[in-house]
Chain A
């Protein structure tokens, strides 16, 4: 995956470039809004990571210009402004996701990977499959092997989100934002409890667990043994 990081803080940018390389992605860096816009317009990137406050041209204006020129590359906004209205402003300007600083790299990575799949085929499918687990988005039925699994509406949405991003790490914050639509920190490990409940319904009694915990990052649903 090719990433463009538009960030004026040299240290932060170097750290990100290095960290993304370590996990196998290619990352370029632009130090200001103008340079970033130029590089982004040349194309060829899978995801843009844009800081909001940039020299020469601010992040939201970069995104606005890209969208006006019909460049649809997914954009993740990174910003020290993390309140709800800042987030709304960022998303309205054409951002696809918003992450407040300071952040954990695992969170950023998970979100970037989730973004690359967003416009792909998965979003349009009506039935998600992971191993022998099947989720029908239209009839709201979940089947594992031959057994139908009964889920609460919220559990269904949780599983749906996990399966939509099957094979990708999904963080607790992403779940809270996308399944519950809350953007605050619930202080306690509420998500973990929901996951363990879901896990007891879909994995209990089956030889092959599908829902895995990724330590220090979040959860992933995938077929096959944990690597």
Chain B
């Protein structure tokens, strides 16, 4: 079926045409032809063999009779022969006998007439005859042998071939019928099977079409027989589940985008309107414009973060991958944030001495770690309770743990309740407690997306108290981890 048929013509095909075009039906036809040929061969072989066997049998009987009658003639002359022939002729279901004088007139036997010239030829012959006793004029076929006796007399012994012919015709009839029935059953079965398969395939295409039309909840029917169509349907359904999940995620994102981008846009618009309405002096206009720019910068940042996440999630974050040391990243990024932590009265400690080679996008992993560190600093509060309180610190660690390269950021902040940990990774989710702090709510989503892009994962754990964010990534070369 390499011919490409456009969906339009395919839909325009008659139901029967569709049926006949199915793979099942084509297969049925091929098998049907093969089996029919084989059956015909078998039957012909059988018929010919049977015929040969019967002929052999007749020959045996006739030979024995001739030998016997010859003996009678040798011993008792013509009289005895005629007597014996007469006797045998009268037996029911007897063979054919005829004794003729040298002039051709019949002396004894049960044959009324023969095909002309039969008696002139010696040896085996197939001929037609009529019996003496028969009332009807029907001619029968027979296999006869003509022998010459001493003195010019001729002896014909034969046997009716009706039996053989009947057997042959039975076999031939059986053959014809069985082949006919086989073809009929085959065609019918093929059509039935094709229709069954076609109906399921049609149901599948119909479902597919409704899904394409937008009904994503539709699923292919699984009959439960576990056949290949069921397996196909199962797999397609699994694929549809995945697509639905992805699309739902996509829809959630667009809803979130709509919300989290529209809110600042509304704010921006309101501010402009208010300025137009109320501002009297130049400084007031200036202030309004400045806050507008600030707001739009925030929007651009959110938008960039979203694009970045989308790119990371689609696995096409460019820049190419390279091999680098995660410990070095930990040191570099910590160095960038160290003054910020210090300004907030937080001690930033870095434990990253052993090299932890990974392969990936250096920039993205740096950004992921920066996001984690930024969060840690944002949500940590310096301990100020009493003189004995330890300074609330942030610990950044990089190293090889088991088979993974891990980057950890541990803080002593309020942490994230266990129930919310999975949720905060989603885009735009910000816990109530943190609504007031600046941020887009995309930080952790980006980290998670970067982790997924590299085949790793982001785990949020309880640091008791505080949060321990663990970015686990596969090492550059398995087994070469801790040199």
**A residues near B, CB below 8 A?**
82-86, 88, 102, 104, 154, 180, 182-190, 193-194, 196-197, 216
Most buried by A among B307, B317, B363: B363
- Whole-angstrom distance from the CB of A105 to the nearest CB of chain B? 10
A185 to B108, CA, bound (A): 129
A189 to B363, CA, bound (A): 19
Total contacts A to B, CB within 8 angstroms?
A: 69
Q: Given B290, B311, B361, B374, which contacts A186 in the complex, CB threshold below 8 Å?
A: B374
Q: Given A82, A85, A190, which contacts B336 in the complex, CB threshold below 8 Å?
A: A190
A190–B318 contact, CB under 8 A?
Answer: no
With A84-B318, A85-B319, A102-B300 as contacts: A188 and B374 at CB distance below 8 Å: yes
- Whole-angstrom distance from the CB of A177 to the nearest CB of chain B? 11
- List the A side residues contacting B366 at CB < 8 Å: 182, 184
- List the A side residues contacting B378 at CB < 8 Å: 188
Q: How many residues of B contact A (CB 8 A)?
A: 34
Interface residue? B358 (CB, 8 A): no
Nearest A-chain residue to B318, judged by Cβ: A85
Nearest B-chain residue to A180, judged by Cβ: B336
A187–B439 contact, CB under 8 A?
Answer: yes
A-B contact pairs, 24 of them (CB 8 A): A82-B304, A83-B308, A84-B317, A84-B318, A84-B319, A85-B320, A86-B318, A102-B300, A104-B293, A104-B297, A180-B336, A182-B336, A182-B363, A183-B363, A184-B363, A186-B374, A187-B374, A188-B340, A188-B377, A188-B438, A190-B340, A193-B340, A197-B339, A216-B290
- Whole-angstrom distance from the CB of B12 to the nearest CB of chain A? 44
With A182-B363, A188-B378 as contacts: A88 and B340 at CB distance below 8 Å: no
**B residues near A, CB below 8 A?**
290, 293, 296-297, 300-301, 304-305, 307-308, 311, 317-320, 332, 335-337, 339-340, 343, 361, 363, 366-367, 370-371, 374, 377-378, 438-439, 443
A86 to B316, CA, bound (A): 12
Most buried by A among B290, B318, B320, B377: B318
- List the B side residues contacting A190 at CB < 8 Å: 336-337, 339-340
- List the A side residues contacting B337 at CB < 8 Å: 190
- Whole-angstrom distance from the CB of B98 to the nearest CB of chain A? 111
Instruction: List 8 additional A-B contacts (Cβ < 8 Å) besides A184-B308, A185-B304, A194-B339.
Output: A82-B304, A83-B311, A86-B318, A184-B367, A187-B443, A188-B377, A190-B337, A216-B290
- List the B side residues contacting A193 at CB < 8 Å: 339-340, 343
- Whole-angstrom distance from the CB of A88 to the nearest CB of chain B? 6
- Whole-angstrom distance from the CB of B164 to the nearest CB of chain A? 91
A216 to B336, CA, bound (A): 22
- List the A side residues contacting B319 at CB < 8 Å: 83-85, 88
